[in-house]
Amino acid sequence: MGFTDSMGEPPNASIDPGSSSSTSSSFFESKDHYCDYNELKIKSILKKMAWELAGLACFLPSRRRRISGNNEETEEKKKDKNLEHNKAWLLAESGGCVGAELTNADPHSVHSSFRFSFCSQVELDSMNMSSSIAATVLMVNLDNGLCESRAKELKWRRIESLERSISPVANTLIRFSYGEILTATRCFSKGRVLGRGALSYVFRGRVGLLRTSVAIKRLDKEDKESSKAFCRELMIASSLHHPNVVPLVGFCIDPEEGLFLVYKYVSGGSLECHLHEKKRGIKGSATLSWSVRYKVATGIAQSVAYLHNGTERCVVHRDIKPSNILLSSRKTPKLCDFGLATWTSAPSVPFLCKTVKGTFGYLAPEYFQHGKVSDRTDVYALGVVLLELITGRKPIEARRPPGEENLVLWAKPLLCKGKGAIGELLDPRVKCTLKNSNQVARMIEAAAACVTSEESRRPAIGEIIAILKGEEQPFISKRKKSGFLGNGCVIDCYSQSQQTNSEMRSHLALAMLGVSEFEEDDHLCCR
């Protein structure tokens, strides 16, 4: 039970219920001053505590004691005792009950009037246990002032460390004040919310004299890892410059209100919205045409290739999915949200992570089961997105018939048919013509290659782009070619020879956890 930070320090002397006129007057002055200072604040707390006092079973007799008149303690001794005196006790002394009667009485039947005073741990230990006056002892945390100052000091140290970490790129971005963020989002109005993640919200806002539209990502200030996540995302996103990647505009660091990242606003909405959300009140609302779907597939594949091979250090996104793919007014796809992105030493060089983060349905088997991360992790997730573009289905749907809940598991037998599976796989809302049938077949082939269960047999992103564009593939090794059928389809040898049905069922069961509760959420994080 503690008091608010604004309360004053407690006096270091206790009030003796039986003290005589020999007690020094300075003590009563300090006591009266303390009571006046905290009267209003303590009154409400005492009301809540009064009915519980009798139920607290720690009844201790107190003794008469005199306050020493010797105030010539050195500063060193006061500092040594400071920590002990900050562990203060609240004495609730019964007025009108004799000690023996109070001790023998049922604690829950005591309803006497109480008088309160403070004493330190040192003084409590020195009390004589033979007195006839009883007191209920309550522990009160009165070192909030010290804790608050330490917390503020640690907070400023974290901010200074964060500033040093981002200093190499801070000058290339716009630094916004918290006031500008507040104005841009209209005090974080609910109507401005664009989306949310596991530990963040994204708001639409307008900044600058030209009222430029931006997307403002607000990280959870209560999360202990927010500083690290902010630093990593800022460092990675600020280094990316590609037509199919949403650019980072600036940031805001406020010690009290938290951390913010400001991205360019993309007006066309997310691929998730266009693929899976029906517009309310509009019958037969327009769906994405095949030409747009194919444009999205090639554009996102190129953005992934840029992350893996077009930057100084290989970047693994780890959360490629339709809700993180935005469409411009011209339906140009742009990859966004680098909150889970990380660097790897080089493409195809995996590393192990302790915590698996991402979205169920898009996690590669080696990442989901063993925490193994590489550029192939993104390739698998891209394959799931390609299947969504082809079929119009979500990766996990509990409402589907048995055997069709998991998109990848349902589609794999059909993918082996190659072009012959177009009729079964293609979204019924999309018309298949002679003109686009070849593109559909190439996307099926690319998707089959991406969702290969064995990481070592999964092609790099460059090969996936070549498949999508129908280019020759002289760089595909014979070892990987052995996994291709004559019609260009990939056989998932790993899933047939090494991955048992029980493992796949286990993967499905884990992926299905909480689907009914969180199915509409943008982001799920498994820890």
Instruction: Provide the percentage of residues in the chain whose pLDDT is more than 90.
Output: 45
CA distance 263 to 337: 9
Q: Positive or negative, the Cα torsion across 273, 274, 277, 279?
A: positive
pLDDT(173) > 70 = yes
Strand-pair category, 248-254 with 174-175: parallel
> Which residue is listed with tokens 């299905």?
512
Radius of gyration in angstroms for the set of CA atoms belonging to the chain, rounded to a whole number: 33
Range from 83-92, 137-146, 153-162 that averages highest in pLDDT = 153-162
Nearest 5°: phi and psi at 139? -85, 130
Name the band, by pLDDT with cuts 50, 70 and 90, for residue 42: low
Q: Positive or negative, the Cα torsion across 400, 403, 409, 413?
A: negative
Residues 6+ apart with CB under 8 A from 43: none
- The candidate with the shortest Cα–Cα distance to 258, out of 162, 358, 149, is 162
pLDDT tens digits, one per residue of 480-515: 443 444 444 444 434 443 444 555 555 555 555 444
Please check whether residue 144 is in contact with residue 3, taking contact to mean a CB–CB distance below 8 angstroms.
yes
**Domains parsed from the chain with CATH numbers:** 152-264 (3.30.200.20), 269-278+285-474 (1.10.510.10)
So what's the pLDDT on residue 478? 39
pLDDT(434) > 50 = yes
pLDDT tens digits, one per residue of 197-210: 878 999 999 998 88
Query: In Å, how far from its chain's centre is CA 486?
Result: 46
pLDDT(58) > 50 = no
* H/E segment holding residue 120: strand 113-120
Please give the structure tokens belonging to residue 191.
Answer: 């109507």
pLDDT(131) > 90 = no
pLDDT tens digits, one per residue of 336-362: 999 999 998 877 788 888 888 889 999
Regarding predicted confidence, which is higher, 188 or 80? 188
**Segment 384-405 mean pLDDT:** 93
Of the listed ranges 37-51, 233-247, 466-480, the one predicted with least confidence:
37-51
Regarding predicted confidence, which is higher, 417 or 268? 268
Regarding predicted confidence, which is higher, 167 or 346? 167
Range from 4-8, 414-418, 480-484 that averages highest in pLDDT = 414-418
pLDDT(473) > 50 = yes
**Segment 294-321 mean pLDDT:** 96
Count of Cβ atoms closer than 10 Å to residue 454 Cβ = 17
Q: Output the CA angle 513-517-520, nearest 5 degrees.
A: 105
- The candidate with the shortest Cα–Cα distance to 317, out of 271, 223, 382, is 382
So what's the pLDDT on residue 268? 92
**Segment 309-314 mean pLDDT:** 92
pLDDT(477) > 50 = no
Nearest 5°: phi and psi at 43? -60, -45
* SS3 sequence of 129-195: CCCCEEEEEEEEECCHHHHHHHHHHHHHHHHHHHHHHHHHHHCCCEECCHHHHHHHCCCCCHHHEEE
Q: Positive or negative, the Cα torsion across 370, 374, 379, 381?
A: positive
CA distance 309 to 311: 6
Name the band, by pLDDT with cuts 50, 70 and 90, for residue 317: very high
So what's the pLDDT on residue 234? 97
pLDDT(11) > 50 = no
pLDDT(321) > 60 = yes
So what's the pLDDT on residue 138? 54
So what's the pLDDT on residue 12? 43
So what's the pLDDT on residue 416? 86
CA distance 457 to 463: 12
So what's the pLDDT on residue 279? 54
pLDDT(327) > 80 = yes
How far is residue 186 from each of residues 183, 203, 218, 252, 263, measured CA to CA in Å? 5, 10, 14, 16, 17
Q: Output the CA angle 301-409-422, nearest 5 degrees.
A: 65
pLDDT(458) > 70 = yes
Regarding predicted confidence, which is higher, 388 or 26? 388
Of the listed ranges 372-376, 413-417, 447-451, the one predicted with least confidence:
413-417
Please give the structure tokens belonging to residue 159.
Answer: 């901010």
pLDDT(289) > 60 = yes
- The candidate with the shortest Cα–Cα distance to 139, out of 82, 83, 87, 63, is 87
So what's the pLDDT on residue 134? 52
pLDDT tens digits, one per residue of 211-244: 999 999 999 988 888 899 999 999 999 999 999 9
Please check whether residue 202 is in contact with residue 270, taking contact to mean a CB–CB distance below 8 angstroms.
no
Three-class DSSP category at 417: coil
Q: Positive or negative, the Cα torsion across 169, 172, 178, 182?
A: negative
Please give the structure tokens belonging to residue 10.
Answer: 């407690």
**Segment 149-161 mean pLDDT:** 82
pLDDT(7) > 90 = no
Instruction: State the pTM of this model.
Output: 0.66
Three-class DSSP category at 361: coil
pLDDT(379) > 90 = yes
pLDDT(307) > 70 = yes
Contacts 24+ apart (CB under 8 A), 200-205: 200/339, 204/265, 205/181, 205/262
Per-residue buried b or exposed e for 332-355, using 16+ beta carbons within 10 Å of the residue's own CB? bbbbbbbbbbbebeebeebeeeee
Name the band, by pLDDT with cuts 50, 70 and 90, for residue 154: confident
So what's the pLDDT on residue 126? 61
Name the band, by pLDDT with cuts 50, 70 and 90, for residue 408: very high
Give catalytic residues, as residue numbers. Answer: 319
Of the listed ranges 16-30, 270-284, 329-343, the one predicted with least confidence:
16-30
Please check whether residue 304 is in contact with residue 242, taking contact to mean a CB–CB distance below 8 angstroms.
no
Name the band, by pLDDT with cuts 50, 70 and 90, for residue 475: very low
So what's the pLDDT on residue 152? 77
Range from 105-109, 256-260, 284-288, 497-501 that averages highest in pLDDT = 256-260
Mean pLDDT of the chain: 74
Strand intervals (E) in 200-297: 200-207, 212-219, 248-254, 258-264
Please check whether residue 472 is in contact with residue 453, taking contact to mean a CB–CB distance below 8 angstroms.
no
DSSP 413: H
